[in-house]
Structure 1
Amino acid sequence: MRRIKRKRKQKQSVSSNRNAHPSTNQETGRNRLLLSPSIKDNIEQIQRSIGPSSDVTIRQFCSQKGGDADIAIIFIDGMVNENIISDFIITPIMGKVELLRHSLSPLFDLEQKILQVGNVKRISEFESLYTSILSGDTVILLDKITEGIVIDTKSWEGRGVTEAQAQTVIRGPHEGFTEALRVNTSLIRRRIKDKNLCIETKQIGTRTKTEVAIIYIKDIADEKIVQEVRNRLEHIQLDGILDSGNIEELIQDNTFTPFPTIQNSERPDSTSAGILEGRVAIIVDGSPYALLVPALFIQFLQSPEDYYQRLGYGFIRFLRYVSVFISLLAPSLYIAITTFHQEMLKTTLLISIAAQREGIPFPAFVEALIMEITFELLREAGIRMPRAIGPAISIVGALVLGEAAVGASLVSPAMVIVVSITAIAGFTFPTFSIGIPFRILRFGLMVLAATFGLFGIIVGLIAVILHLCSLQSFGVPYMYPFAPLEMNDQKDAVIRFPKWMMKSRPKPFTKWNQVRMGNSYALNNRKNKR
């Protein structure tokens, strides 16, 4: 009796589910709500699911006079090109109503004979219908047909292609990415006209369904790296992706490190150059920043302008490496020398610093800490303030506070100079994200310098170097080509060699097709002169 009752309950539950969802596919492993043959039921289901949204437009037509609606066009106002819908969808359908009414295969006739648009596909599930509508497509439903037609009519207001804001150059392209995915991919297509350039698009985010594009050159990029990118993106289980920064945080190798292991760029030329090296680009719809993987430490100190200027400009890159040490070590070295190692200074300089510090109530560490925190506050305030007054507030605040602090004998003039040089060195980094870890580690080295002097600074540097050497980015050593040492790739590390000498791509990014340049004119000209 119990078995009979259980079977009856199961039959009743199955029948109730079928009544509630007449088009649910029970054969598959998941519940997929399929389109119903009744267009009225389909429209009611859409209205129930989407809710009372005023921007959802459902345009219904009757193929015969006095009959019920048997054609429905569904789209979201503000996300579609209304001219395309009016001129190439509604007008042709209105003129071919008789053809559709007497057609044996109305979907085929609608696709091949009536619609005057390019990108057309069929759907049979409500989930695909919702995704298409909410992405800016237009859906056409016919009565007594269990399939619908999706037409690409995306068009919404967005920012045009403008100059890059954070990664500026003097010489070179001034175009920057926008928030539109297809505009960004077209900017890369325009620079790399290669049939092997692949653009794979995925939807990530259970609610936002954000489109994410993976871009690479299939005969250059390492297939293992490309597959690793695919796997990490597929394992993202999140309700919303609003910017490429969300993707970066979810797919990076090491979360608990201050150093970025994924490079971001708002420049199409830099992204294209990375793709030509064998790297993989990730572009997120709604974000003007592309991600490049794998990423090396040296690439965060390379500017696109290094490759547009002549060879002598490689000296500027060397200055960036010098600025790394200044930004990281200047305050801590001042604290260590003035506190523990005064014998390292000349007598005249030592007397000058001692005279400046006469009357200062704080030790060198507290003095440096006050100035560094004050400058960080000014930097953050300048970024968050309105653009019209942000720079003025930063400059005036720094000048007034610095002068007032010296006049009040809270800090010494030498400390103001040290903090100023440290700040200037931090502004030389081409990528904003690489400056953040040095700003954080600077405070730790200041504590070590105030506690142990130069010995503490050396121990801190060794710890930082060991940490950097332990990092990887998608299986590639982060400190390559320094650790492991690769002499051939030193041509584009600390300084840039002439273009005709850099014939090969970086070895970690590609396993084949490493040669990227033949005998150039400059090289042939040199051989002829000899």
Structure 2
Amino acid sequence: MWLRLRNQNKKQAYPCDKVAQEGIYGTIERDLHANIEKVRNITGNSADIVIRRFWLGKEDNLSSALCFVSGMVDENMVQQLFIEASVQLSFPSMCCDQLEYIEKKIATANTTRRVKQWNDVFSLLMSGESILFIHGMQEAISIAVKGGEYRAITEPSTQLSIRGPREGFTESLTTNVAMVRRRIQHPHVWVEAITVGEVTHTNVRIMYMKGIADDNIVEEVRSRLQRICMDGVLESGYIEQFIEDETFTTFPTIYHTERPDSVAANLLEGRVAIFVEGTPFVLIAPAVFIQFFQAVEDYYARFDIATALRFLRILVFFISLVAPSLYIAATTFHQEMIPTSLVIAIAAQRESVPFPAFVEAVIMEVTFEILREAGVRLPRTVGQAVSIVGALVIGQAAVEAGFVSSVMVIVVSITAIASFATPSFAIAVSARLIRFLLMVLAALFGFYGILIGLIWMTIHLCSLRSFGVPYMTPLAPLIPMNLRDTFVRFPLWALTDRPHGIAEETNIVRQGDEQRPKPNQEMRREGDEN
């Protein structure tokens, strides 16, 4: 009984069921006028639904109509290849299948398919294809002439790099898939198509390297996407929230990027990419914690430089996580940990401050978060000026008014700058949220509270999974071979294996033996002699 009521409520939840009752199902009729009226009635005679009627053939044999959505097709191609070519069409006297003849003569350069059901007609029409109706036939021809305006390929705005490609994904699904195809020109790059969203019918693509990606992970990604049942998917963030392993966590368990070279590198390591129509952000699964501190230029620079930069990123993440709480704990409970001259200077500055260190830190952190959010929402030319000027003016005014001490302004400023230095915005936001929890623990228990919070965070991280892969891999569980590309980055010739636990174990080796550079000794001796 409960299951029946649940299914009934679930049925009533989708507005597409109401549309189905109004006639979106059924088969195409032979009468062309009736089919045109059907399209107009279902679409509400929308202004962007274009219906062009014309006679098919030199002798005006067949009355026809071509339907498409303006702005979603290449109208020049529609005019040249179909309408102009169709009026010159001459049917042979022995032609038995006129639809097949039309497909071969008119739509030779494009993908076509025959449709009978109205739900298929409207699904293809709204996805950007043209539908050709012919009087007297109960089948229509769907012609792939997708087009329209898309944003040009530009440099990614969220993942900038000093060295490397300058192109990023766009909102076009086919363009994004092709950009990765250009980088991995191998037939084992498999792409699967899935439609998600009961109303939006959003196109989704799963891309992976067959033979490198673990089949169990690919099947899990596929099954999670197929289980999504909602009215609309407008961005990859919708899908991310439906397929992640753990909901109640601030840490991201799925990596997202707008760089084709980053997607290609992850595919070669055995991961799976999820493309969504209408967004430049591609999801990568499974993801591990250390992955969010790696930047694409780490693999384009020398290993020693890349290792130093990774240590710096981890350091600034730790600073953005605990800097305010350390100040609160040191000034409230552990003054003996501060050098005498410094504690005297801090006490002199805080003499006129009416609030305890915790309230002082909360006021400044909330103020900086408001300024940061305002800078993001305002126009780009105005937002940067508001963020910089607002921080300087408010910080200086707060110190002069006696609300906060100058040391607190310095601590909060360093924390804010450190959070910007984290390469992944998703992990930086997690640190911003956990920072407030650590501030509360520091105000209650001092350094012991911070330690308790960090231990709890470590236990929580070790409990997370990303499509069955432990989130703290290769640290917990410890995989020594994978440590070559974690906090340190070994030279590329030393990264002989793909990540264990992610890639298919039968195809774990990714380069040949003895790849370490070996200069020609004879050329070196000749150079020394010269």
TM over 0.5: yes
Q: How far apart are residue 127 of structure 1 and its match?
A: 0.9
Q: How far, CA to CA, are the matches of 1:393 and 1:59 in structure 2?
A: 52
Q: Distance in 2 between matches of 1:116 and 1:259?
A: 50
Paired position in structure 1 for 2:371: 378
Match of 1:517 among 511, 514, 522: 511
Does residue 438 of structure 1 match 2:431?
yes
Which residue does 2:401 correspond to in 1? 408
User: CA deviation digits over 1:163-196, x for unaligned, max 9?
Assistant: 0001101111111100000110110000000110
Offset at residue 32 of structure 1 (A): 4.8
Q: Displacement of 1:495 after TM fit?
A: 1.3
Q: Does structure 2 retain, via aligned residues, the 8 Å contact 1:88–1:116?
A: no
2:298 to 306, 309, 314: 306
| RMSD between aligned residues | 2.1
Residue 134 of structure 2, aligned match among 116, 132, 142: 142
Counterpart residue type for residue 140 of structure 2: G
2:205 is aligned to 213
The answer on whether the counterparts of 1:208 and 1:240 sit within 8 Å (CA) in structure 2 is yes
CA 1:101–1:366: 2 relative to 1, 3 Å: farther
2:157 to 165, 169, 172: 165
Separation of aligned partners in 1, 2:454 and 2:356: 23
Asked whether the equivalents of residues 57 and 88 of structure 2 are also in contact (C-alpha less than 8 Å), the reply is no
* d(CA) in 1 for partners of 2:514, 2:76: 51
Partners in 2 of 1:226 and 1:527 — Cα distance?
48
- How far does residue 63 in structure 1 lie from its aligned partner after superposition? 5.1
Letter in 2 for 1:111: E
Of 168, 193, 204, the residue aligned with 1:201 is 193
Cα deviations across residues 415-467 of structure 1 (Å, max 9, x unaligned)?
A: 11111111111111111111111100101110110011111111111111111
Is this contact kept in 1: 2:57–2:87, CA < 8 A? no
Say if 2:49 is the partner of 1:74. Answer: no
1:319 equivalenced with 2:312 (yes/no): yes
Partner of 1:57: 50
Once the two structures are superposed, what CA deviation does each residue of 1:296-321 show, in whole Å capped at 9, x if it has no partner? 11111100011111112221101111
- 1:468 corresponds to which residue? 461
Tell whether 2:331 aligns with 1:332.
Answer: no
Q: Give the distance between the partners of 2:403 and 2:170, measured in 1 at CA.
A: 47
Contact in 2 for aligned 1:35/1:125 (Cα 8 Å)? yes
SS at match of 1:269: helix
Alignment-mate amino acid for residue 290 of structure 2: I
How much does 1:46 deviate?
A: 1.7
Q: State which of 460, 468, 486 in structure 2 corresponds to 1:493.
A: 486
Instruction: Determine helix, strand or coil for the equivalent of 1:60.
Output: strand
The answer to whether the 8 A contact 2:310-2:487 is kept is: yes
Q: How does 1:6-405 map to 2 (within 5 A)?
A: 32-62=25-55, 70-96=63-89, 98-99=90-91, 103-313=95-305, 314-405=307-398
User: Which one-letter code corresponds to 1:522 in the other structure?
Assistant: R
Q: Give the unaligned 5+ runs of structure 2.
A: 1-19, 525-530
Letter in 2 for 1:49: I
Conserved? CA contact 1:117–1:151, under 8 Å: no
Q: Which amino acid aligns with 2:150?
A: G
Distance 1:101 1:306 in 2: 68
One-letter amino acid of the structure 1 residue matched with residue 489 of structure 2: R
Q: Structure 1 residues 63 and 248 mapped into 2: Cα distance closer, same or farther (>3 Å)?
A: closer
| CA-CA distance at 1:525 after TM superposition | 4.5
Distance 2:432 2:70 in 1: 47
Deviates more, 1:426-435 or 1:345-354: 345-354
Per the TM alignment, residue 509 of structure 1 is displaced from its structure 2 partner at its CA by 1.5
Secondary structure in structure 1 of the residue aligned to 2:91 = helix
CA distance in 2, matches of 1:477, 1:71: 59
Aligned to 1:9: none
1:418 is paired with a residue whose SS is helix
What is the match of residue 5 of structure 2?
A: none
The percentage of aligned residue pairs carrying the same residue is: 48
Task: Sort the Cα spacing of 1:66 and 1:215 in 2 relative to 1 into closer, same or farther, 3 A.
Answer: closer
Distance 1:76 1:379 in 2: 41
Deviation of 1:64 after TM superposition, in Å, equals 8.5
The answer to whether 1:453 aligns with 2:439 is no
User: In structure 1, what is the Cα distance between the partners aligned to 2:269 and 2:64?
Assistant: 51
Report the AA paired with residue 236 of structure 1. Answer: I
Amino acid in structure 2 at the alignment position of 1:326:
I
Deviation at 1:68, TM superposition (A): 9.8
| Shift in CA distance, 102/462, structure 1 to aligned 2, threshold 3 Å | same
Deviation at 1:522, TM superposition (A): 3.0
Give 2:54's aligned amino acid: F
What is the alpha-carbon distance in structure 2 between the residues aligned to residue 500 and residue 63 of structure 1?
64
CA contact (8 A) 2:56 2:86 kept: no
Cα distance in 2, alignment partners of residues 59 and 100 from structure 1: 25
Q: Could you tell me whether the CA contact under 8 Å between 2:110 and 2:145 is conserved in 1?
A: no
Q: 1:526 to 1:208 in 2, by over 3 A?
A: farther
Instruction: Determine helix, strand or coil for the equivalent of 2:228.
Output: coil
Report the TM-score when normalising by structure 2: 0.91
Secondary structure of 1:103's counterpart equals coil
Q: Distance in 2 between matches of 1:345 and 1:78?
A: 66
Task: Please give the secondary structure, in 2, of the residue aligned with 1:372.
Answer: helix
Shift of 1:80: 1.1
Q: Equivalent residue of 1:72, what SS?
A: strand
Per-residue deviation, residues 66-115 of structure 1 (Å, max 9, x unmatched): 9996322111122111111111111221011x417873210111112343
Question: Following the alignment from structure 2 to structure 1, what is the Cα–Cα distance between the partners of residues 42 and 98?
Answer: 27
CA shift in 2, pair 1:170/1:520, >3 Å: farther
